[in-house]
Structure 1
Amino acid sequence: MALHETSRPEPAGPGRSAAAPALDQADRDRLLSGAHHDPHALLGAHPVPGGIAFRALRPFARAVSVVVDGERTGLVSEGGGLFSGVLPLDAIPAYTLLVSYAEDGSDEREVHDPYRFLPALGELDLHLVREGRHEELWKALGAEPMTHQGVTGTRFTVWAPNAQGVRVAGDFTCWDGTAFPMRSLGASGVWELFLPGIGEGARYKFEITSRYGGRFLKADPMARRAEVPPDTASIVHASHYEWGDERWMAHRGDVPVHQAPFSVYEVHLPSWRPGLTYRELAEQLPAYVNDLGFTHVEFMPVAQHPFAGSWGYQVTSFYAPTARLGTPDDFKYLVDALHQAGIGVIVDWVPAHFPKDDWALSRFDGDPLYEPGDARRAEHPDWGTFEFDYGRTEVRNFLVANATYWCEEFHIDGLRVDAVASMLYLDYSRDSGQWAPNAYGGREDLDAMAFLQEMNATVYRRNPGVVTIAEESTAWGGVTRPTDSGGLGFGLKWNMGWMHDSLEYVAKEPVHRKYHHNEMTFSMVYAYSENYVLPISHDEVVHGKQALVSKMPGDWWQRRANHRAYLGFMWAHPGKQLLFMGQEFAQGAEWSEAHGPEWWLLDPGYAWAGDHRGVQDLVRDLNAFYRATPALWERDTDPGGFQWVLGDAADDNVFAFLRFGADGTALLAVSNFSPVVRHDYRLWAPDHVVAWQETLNTDAARYGGSDVTNPDPVKPQDGHIRLTLPPLATVWLSPRP
């Protein structure tokens, strides 16, 4: 019999039901082609004259029977995988189906009929989805294992408002969606189907029929687990992880981040120790970070991404940690291990764009959905990706809920938001004629502004102790100003200006640095306009930019000395710190995601290992002194916490400044970016300090320096002190008790 051919009705007989009323041909065609909005109206059990009609859609089945109170009755084949019949009953009973695919019925299996169940998604959920206000969207959409009407299975839901029809396909259907069409839940644009017997680990996609008649498979935008690339299916997942970080979570917000030490080690998880899983990383990473004294780690994006070379910045599954390193519960294990070691966890979050892979978000239901319909706004010109439509409530909800999801489901302590500038400007990387101004004639993307404000306000309201961090590379005002006073609401902002200027300075030969002196001092002109992080990130050590130590001029000794002096200057400068992996031990080669940090440089058998271990020892001591010295972090956002001692010694390549704690206790930082020793160097000093003691010197022998130090207390005379400044070095001095 042909697939869509309708067989003649068969009369009732022993063990066989009476024929059911024939389906309307248009309904039948739409149902079998995957373009029907309400398959539950055609399938399942329904009252008809003479009893209850049962209709099941079981493609390729040889026979289907209905079982009521233990008694089976065969259904009549209608062709196309449809089986139906009428039983002389007064009301719809509890029933199951017996389905056989073999001629002799040897493989007969008893199953629940998905089309006898009421919707497993409530009206409140649908209302919040329509309003774009569902802050726990991951609990409403996607694949949710559950018990529904006393039966275990999985509820599948997806937002696809432009689709003619949506079906569930998976490894349990041989990737054919014919058997499981979903129903539309009205104006919400949500489609839903509860599938009994489908549980955790099942692989699935949504088979969508667009309004233009095209049919294609899409991964679930809300999937909480995905296959290991290059495979692209979503996986039904429920977490069974039991957290052990209750103490961390209870106290992480005790001190506002602006008034706390905040020293970040940036990590690309797949390449930090190539080949390690999340759980194996949990055995090594916390101990390493703890040993070096960083307060936080920051992971480059961990959401699922198909191309490893994107480093995670082209996300296809925003709710699923990358499967390359393990399961979502494995990732929780890593976060938990870091928390129990006293280390906070920040993740890079990428709401600025998404890739065009045809199985993911791109034209999800056949039309622009997550991306704007206006071609001038849809494509990101730099990255060959799509931008999100921040003006659409459901899209904004998808992203806002995603931000809270990482914080709540994975106990993440901070979100570093990537490429904020590209979101804020309508003309970002676009020429005249390639963009349209906003309603006020400006270049600001008002929808993106509103989204970022909503995201920040929601994250901070729901997750005390979490910080959001903007990578924003322009002079946009109010990035870290609260939303209730018109700001974007971020907690911190990467100080890209400081990073560019200071790296430009240290890359110069010392003899030329006097002509660029202001590049090291200009940051203090605007240091308190925002709440800043000083980032030496992955972006600065790739694509021909060279590793940090390799940016420095001179021979190997001078490059290392410059590297150490720069880190000492950075750790003392107002703002929080961030250092990318490999730079903590002066790796000379650029980072590559293929092999990660060059750990062999630290091996005892390597001839120059001591040089690299010396820099690593310095980073350890910088963090230890930093955490123990409130003057370096307690007043990071208070102009009263900083005072220049010497900011205009351009000819000497010398900088000196004071940092103050809340109680007035000071730290004096002096940097000499010249390769000469400066003896008896005269600096102004506060009168109330009786003597200064050198507490850190980047030229110390243990760090690989020449060991020019100030071992004895330095006492002021006539309001000044006299120091010996080591070459290419930073010295910290504290008041002697």
Structure 2
Amino acid sequence: MAHDVAGGLTGWDLEGFHNGGDTECWRRLGSHEVTIFDDERGEIHGTRFAVWAPNAHDVRLNADFNWWTGDQMHRVPGSGIWALFVEGVGTGALYKYNILCADGTWREKVDPMAFFAEQAPANSSIVYTSKYLWADDEWMSRRSAAQPHKEPMSIYEVHLGSWRKGKTYLELADELVEYVTWQGYTHVELMPVTEHPFEPSWGYQVTNYFAPQSRLGRPDEFRHLVDRLHQAGIGVILDWVPGHFPKDEWALGRFDGTALYEHEDPRQGEHKDWGTYIFNYGRNEVKSFLVSNALYWVTEFHIDALRVDAVASMLYLDYSRNDGEWVPNIYGGNENLEAIDFLRYVNKHLYERVPGVVMIAEESTSFGGVTKPVHHGGLGFGFKWNMGWMNDSLRYLALEPIHRQYHHNEMTFAMVYAYSENFVLPISHDEVVHGKGSMINKVPQDTWRQFATLRAFYSYMWAFPGKKLLFMGCEFGQRSEFNEANSLEWWVCDLWGHHGLQRMFKDLNELYRAHPALWELDSDPAGFRWINADDASANTFSWLRSDAEGRQVAVAVNFSSEPWTRYRLGLPKPGVWREIFNSDAGIYDGSDAHGNLGQVVATGEGWNGYPASALVVVPPLGAVYFEYVGEE
């Protein structure tokens, strides 16, 4: 054992952690292979362990290298940190902290800052030093100059553990990359990869915030997956869960016998719905822990965006609570002022530190200014999931076609507030679980109409203002609900209907990326104009998308079972409009009977408030896109 028992760690090093300003606290706390200098022996290699447990009476290091008997740790003067340097210990060592808590009970805890952990049901922390050499310089350079609001974003949401069950990070680096590249998505969004022992939580009950889940491989193997996605030109979004954490006895909860990371008062510190604790966002050390965690994934793993889970549960003190079960803020209101302050802090810090990074809120209420910059009084997110659009459109989708005319406004209402925030249109895992049914089983009537309706709906979604997100399996119309215990039903991709839908997504993503009119002005009213929002009797919607150069794509979607063979469409210019997409095409397993022979010619006959118009064919339960190519 060296003379420097704390491995060079001093109270000065920890000041930032205690005042909420240490945004890289993973560099100081946790386990680190270090070299210290001893007066008698010179350089000594080993591992420094450090843990925050201010109210503990004693802390010991239980590890495989001491036969789990416990080495005495030492308080770092002027801090609530306990530390110990152990000579000769390195990557691969297993350890836990044995804490004599404030109530006089010894409790064995895993390291909150561990970079790696044992697979469940085991849970020891593991000393780990990354040796990974990144090869994504070109991607990272391009990312730093990115303008996400003016770029295409079509996101494939993935649960890594069940996309193809049993695949490792290394196998996914080949197979997932190949599939997403073929399908043409710009990004993948990974449901939480942070360590979670309870697999059916899908990663939303995190026990190790700094460790990728070990079921699929080692941390550097996860880095390799991200690296390969970047080399293929695919961005990586990671689900991040700062809203709550589970009550596992060996994890963060009541860490030193007191409410350290969570609120002491259960009215502020517990989510009854989820059986979890809520972070104490007003505590400086918790701010340092969480902001550091966000920065850790973005810098150490080159993650391009964080999608912040359950933001509404953070914003409101009375979230899912009855009267008397919550504590008002100092002004008597229901806003969680400390959580709001924390969200502004983490968003502002990441945008300042990492050019090109994106923060995305899953936020289901009408809370104002979610995507407004912090310096303009907003929360500072880049995008917000449009849950209103999702709920309205899925209600419409589930109706019999004959009844849709009475609910026409559910598909147009999103444009009323489309520019109040920067939106992502999400069809996520939450919509295909817990008895809600798969996307295809939400649609009424026979199999042909189910597939045709889905093709029309996704065509509607891909041409509507807002970035796109689709959960895995939806792209080929899986009939079973999402179940983390099983792989996706890949075998159906060879079957009629499923194969056509999957092929359509490949073409739709290619078309989307190739036409800036479909994404460049997503957040600008100049990028969208209705042609006819009010044709309820025909269950048909039509609109125009434009880019900054004035190039235009006209869209018509028919949610009735009748073909419209002479549908007059108002257009901004006379001349040739080429049909660039038809969801009823034979290659998509459509009827192939209702097309426009490649183009239509608009004449000077005004219609729908436009100076020109054309008679077009809009297939039953189908969509068509037209691109202006010039005068005849």
AA aligned opposite 1:131: N
CA contact (8 A) 1:244 1:336 kept: yes
Partner residue in 2 for 1:213:
104
User: 2:503 aligned with 1:617, yes or no?
Assistant: yes
2-structure distance, mates of 1:588, 1:697? 24
Letter of the structure 1 residue corresponding to residue 229 of structure 2: L
The residue that corresponds to 1:159 in the other structure is: 52
CA distance in 2 between counterparts of 1:211 and 1:602 reads: 58
Aligned equivalent of 1:356: 247
| Between 385-394 and 163-172, the greater mean CA deviation after superposition | 163-172
Aligned 8 A contact 1:290 1:341 in 2: yes
**TM superposition shift of 1:116:** 5.0
1:534 aligns to what SS in structure 2? strand
Choose from 113, 121, 128 the match for 2:16. 128
- SS of residue in 2 equivalent to 1:694: strand
Return the offset for 1:434: 0.6
CA deviation after TM superposition for structure 1 residue 276, in Å: 0.8
Output one character per residue of 1:658-700: Cα deviation in whole Å (capped at 9) or x when no partner: 011001111111000001111211121113x422111001001
Preserved CA contact (<8 Å) 1:558 1:728: yes
Residue 393 of structure 1 aligns with which residue? 284
SS class of match (1:338): helix
Q: Which amino acid aligns with 1:152?
A: H
Structure 2 counterpart of 1:701: 586
Which 10-residue stretch deviates more, 675-684 or 562-571?
675-684
Aligned twin of 1:200: 91
Query: 1:306 matched to which residue of 2?
Result: 197
Q: Could you say which residue in structure 2 is the equivalent of 1:67? A: none
Residue 713 of structure 1 contacts residue 736 of structure 1 at CA under 8 Å; is this kept in 2?
Answer: no
Q: 1:336-390: CA deviations, max 9, x gaps?
A: 0100111000010000000000000010000011100112111102100001000
Aligned amino acid, residue 50 of structure 2: T
Q: Per chain length, whose mean CA-contact separation is higher, i.e. which structure has more relative contact order (CA < 8 Å, sep 6+)?
A: 2
Instruction: Give the 3-state SS of the residue equivalent to 2:526 in structure 1.
Output: helix
Aligned twin of 1:558: 449
Distance, in Å, in 1 between the alignment partners of 2:6 and 2:362 is 46
**For residues 545 and 561 of structure 1, what CA distance do their matches in structure 2 show?**
20
Check conservation: 1:219, 1:360, Cα contact below 8 A. yes
Q: Contact (CA 8 Å) 2:493, 2:502: kept in 1 or not? A: no
Q: Which amino acid aligns with 1:721?
A: A
Give the secondary structure class of the aligned counterpart of 1:702: helix
Measure, in 1, the Cα distance between the counterparts of 2:12 and 2:227: 33
**1: distance between equivalents of 2:527 and 2:79?**
53
Q: Deviations over 1:98-155 (max 9, x none)?
A: xxxxxxxxxxxxxxx2455465214442111121211111100000011111100000
Find out whether 1:546 has 2:432 as its counterpart: no
Q: Deviations over 1:214-252 (max 9, x none)?
A: 111100000000001110110000000000001100111
**Secondary structure of 1:714's aligned partner:** strand
Q: Displacement of 1:711 after TM fit?
A: 1.3
RMSD: 1.0
Pairwise CA distance, 1:610: 3.1
The reply on whether 1:139 has 2:30 as its aligned counterpart is no
Specify the SS of the correspondent of 2:98.
strand
Q: Does 1:672 align with 2:558?
A: yes
Tell me which residue corresponds to 1:657: 543
- 2:533 aligned partner, one-letter code: G
Are 1:497 and 2:388 matched, yes or no? yes
Alpha-carbon shift at residue 171 of structure 1 (Å):
1.1
Residues 173-572 of structure 1: pairs in structure 2 closer than 5 A: 173-177=66-70, 180-572=71-463
Aligned residue among 613, 627, 632 for 1:734: 627
TM value normalised by structure 1 = 0.83
Residues 629/197 of structure 1: CA separation in 2 closer, same or farther (3 Å cut): same
Letter in 1 for 2:46: G
Quote how far apart the aligned CAs of 1:712 are: 4.0
2:577 is matched with 692
Is it true that 1:583 corresponds to 2:474 in the alignment?
yes
Q: Deviations over 1:580-602 (max 9, x none)?
A: 00011111111111113100112
Query: What is the letter of the counterpart of residue 702 of structure 1?
Result: I
Which amino acid is 2:21 matched to?
Answer: R
What is the rounded CA distance, in whole Å, between the counterparts of 2:5 and 2:79 in structure 1? 20
Per-residue deviation, 1:466: 1.1
Which amino acid letter does the alignment assign opposite residue 343 of structure 2? L
Which residue in 2 is equivalent to 1:108? none
Please state whether the residue corresponding to 1:643 is helix, strand or coil. strand
- After superposition, the Cα gap between the structure-2 partners of 1:118 and 1:255, relative to the gap in structure 1 and judged at 3 Å, is closer
Does 1:647 find its partner at 2:533? yes
Unmatched 5+ stretches in structure 2: 38-42, 606-611
CA contact (8 A) 1:159 1:191 kept: yes
Moved more, 415-424 or 189-198: 189-198
The superposition leaves residues 480-517 of structure 1 with CA deviations (integer Å, 9 ceiling, x where unpaired) of: 00011111100000000000000100110000001110
1:713, CA displacement in angstroms? 2.4
**How far off is 1:188 after superposition?**
2.3
Contact kept? 1:502, 1:520, Cα under 8 Å: yes
Report the secondary structure of 1:206's partner residue.
strand
Q: 1:532 to 1:118 in 2, by over 3 A?
A: closer
Does the Cα contact within 8 Å between 1:129 and 1:188 map onto a contact in 2? Answer: no
Any residues of structure 2 matched to 1:3-82 within 5 Å, and which? none
Partners of 1:716 and 1:276 lie apart in 2 by: 53
Secondary structure of the corresponding residue to residue 434 of structure 1: coil
> Contact 1:297–1:343 (CA<8 Å) still a contact in 2?
yes
1:648 alignment partner, SS class = coil
Query: In 1, Cα distance between the equivalents of 2:235 and 2:299?
Result: 14
SS at match of 2:289: helix
Separation in structure 2 between the aligned mates of residue 338 and residue 375 of structure 1, nearest angstrom: 42
Distance 1:163 1:645 in 2: 67
In structure 1, the gaps of 5 or more residues are 1-112, 604-608
Q: Specify the code of the residue in structure 2 equivalent to 1:467.
A: V
CA contact (8 A) 1:130 1:187 kept: no
Q: Which amino acid aligns with 1:649?
A: D
Report the Cα distance in structure 2 between the residues aligned to 1:119 and 1:410, rounded to whole angstroms. Answer: 26
Instruction: Tell me if structure 2 keeps the 8 A contact 1:203–1:234.
Output: yes
Secondary structure at 1:715 match in 2 = strand
Look up the SS of the partner of 2:60 in the other structure: strand
Runs of 4+ in 1 over 6 A off after TM superposition: none
Q: Is the 1:467–1:491 contact (alpha carbons within 8 Å) kept by the matching residues of 2?
A: yes
Deviations 1:449-474 (A, max 9, x none): 00000110111111111101000000
Partner of 1:170: 63
**Partner amino acid for 1:444?**
E
Displacement of 1:433 after TM fit? 0.5
Contact 1:321 1:331 in 2 (8 A): yes
Contact kept in structure 2, 1:391 and 1:448, CA below 8 Å: yes
Contact 2:144 2:354 in 1 (8 A): no
Counterpart residue number, 1:626: 512
CA separation in 2, counterparts of 1:307 and 1:277?
18
Say which SS state the counterpart of residue 280 (structure 1) adopts.
helix
- Measure, in 2, the Cα distance between the counterparts of 1:355 and 1:303: 13
Residues in 2 aligned to 1:116 and 1:645: alpha-carbon distance in whole angstroms: 74
CA-to-partner distance for each residue in 1:557-580, whole Å, 9 max, x for gaps? 000000000000000000000000
Counterparts of 1:322 and 1:616 in 2: how far apart (Å)? Answer: 30
Q: Deviations over 1:374-415 (max 9, x none)?
A: 121111021000010001010011000000000000000010
